[in-house]
Amino acid sequence: MIRLEALSKVYGTPKGTVKAVDSVSLEVREGETCVLLGPSGCGKTTTLRMINRLVAPTSGKIFLAGRDTDAVDPVELRRGIGYVIQQIGLFPNMTVAENIGVVPRLLGWDSARRRRRAEELLALLALPPGEFADRYPNELSGGQAQRVGVARALAVDPPVLLMDEPFAALDPINREAVQDEFLRMQEKLRKTILFVSHDIDEAVKMADRIAIFHSGRLVQFAAPDELLARPADAFVASFVGRDRTLKRLRLIRVAEVMTNDGAASIDKKAPAVSPDDDLRRVAALFLEHGAAALRCIDGEGRVIGVVTRDAVAARLAIEDSP
């Protein structure tokens, strides 16, 4: 869906040339969320901004749905790509509904249709339209403003979203809530998303695949679990952190490590988990209760399997995890 081929950006400075992005190639599949991750100045934002041509590439190609973006007028190109930035950039002179209607208006939708669409999107993002449509941005909290920013990017239902650290300015509690909501929405909408972040936890939570950047180069492009299990080099290992095994726990569901062996003989007082829980809960119960095995129960409380320490260890040890 999005394909970058040997994409580079070189800036000339008084001290010589700087390669902000150095021959990056990657492909993001349709409906996938790809997080570009790295420390500041690693080239991730520049890469993102080359896709909607806010930055002109020095060399290399970008294909959107198979089409070379060089051949498209930049203004037309941008109207077809949702764009969300950290500072949100809502226009304070326009109401919430007018902000969401910006791109529809550029495309010539009439006002009734713009209004309908704005209300639809507000409802999708859990902001009651009756209460929010006619507010001005200065009457919104940070979390509400960022939801409106996302709604605005979705206004004309673009297949691709570019998000530049969209949740970085929110406080931790709000950030979690907006991230969860965004994941639920993405499950329904299945947009192709390129998401810039400097936060490994956010990347692990949001991404189908993570692209790690270092000094303008793409150093590893992998699914979160693989990235955490097998960092490609010392930089990636230090960036994901020494607690990377703990981070993997959230990615693995109980259903993946559950076995049926011993389901009949397990202690009825052993702590219970559900197949949809992730391994963070399992690890917590192991540590809290010192248990060797946990019961796995379904919605009606029936035991459907057990989770043993050995099974968890074996899963975490898998080197060739998908």
Partner 1 sequence: MSTAAAANRSQLPYWVLLGIALALAWGLYASGLSDDILRYRKDIVYLTKQHLVLVAISGSAAIVIGVAIGIWLSRPWMQRWADATIQVVNMATSIPTLGKLALMMTFLGIGALPAIVGLWIATLLPIIRNTYEGIRAVPVHMLDAARGMGMGPSTILGRVELPNALFVIFAGARTAMAVNVGTAPIAFLIGGGGLGELIFTGIDLQQYGMMLAGAIPTALIAVAVDFLFGQAQYWLVPRGVNPLRHN
Where do contacts with partner 1 occur on this chain (CB under 8 A)?
A: 52, 54, 75-80, 83, 85-95, 102-103, 106, 136-138, 152, 162
User: Considering beta carbons, is residue 152 or 191 the nearer one to partner 1?
Assistant: 152
Measured from the CB atom, the residue of 138 and 265 that comes closer to partner 1 is 138
Q: Shortest Cβ distance from residue 226 to partner 1 (Å)?
A: 32
> Residue 314 Cβ, how far from partner 1 at the closest point, in Å?
47
Kindly report the number of other CB atoms within 10 A of residue 14's CB atom.
Answer: 4
CB 83 → partner 1: shortest distance, Å? 4
Helix (H, G, I), strand (E, B) or coil at 300: coil
Centre a 10 Å sphere on the Cβ of residue 149 and count the other Cβ atoms it contains. Answer: 25
Tell me the three-class secondary structure of 191-227, residue by residue.
CEEEEEECCHHHHHHHCCEEEEEECCEEEEEECHHHH
Q: Which lies closer to partner 1 via its Cβ, residue 63 or residue 136?
A: 136
Nearest residue (CB) to partner 1, 55 versus 316:
55
Which of 103, 293 has the CB closer to partner 1? Answer: 103
Instruction: Name the pairing type of β-strands 160-164 and 192-197.
Output: parallel
User: Listing from the earlier edge strand, what are the strands of the sheet with 59-64?
Assistant: 16-28, 2-13, 59-64, 67-68
Cβ distance to partner 1 smaller for residue 66 or 92: 92
In the numeric block, which tokens belong to residue 212?
């790690």
Nearest approach in angstroms of CB 295 to partner 1 is 51
Report the distance separating Cα 254 and Cα 248, nearest Å: 13
Least CB distance to partner 1 at residue 1 (A): 19
Cα separations (Å) of 191 from 42, 161, 211, 234?
A: 25, 7, 18, 33
Judged by DSSP in three states, 110 sits in coil
Please state the closest distance from residue 270 (CB atom) to partner 1, in A: 53
The residue among 79 and 244 lying less far from partner 1, judged by its C-beta, is: 79
| Token output for 25 | 């190639």
Angle at 278 between CA 275 and CA 284, to 5 degrees: 110
**What CA–CA distance (Å, rounded) separates 27 from 249?**
27
Smallest distance from partner 1 to CB 102, Å? 6
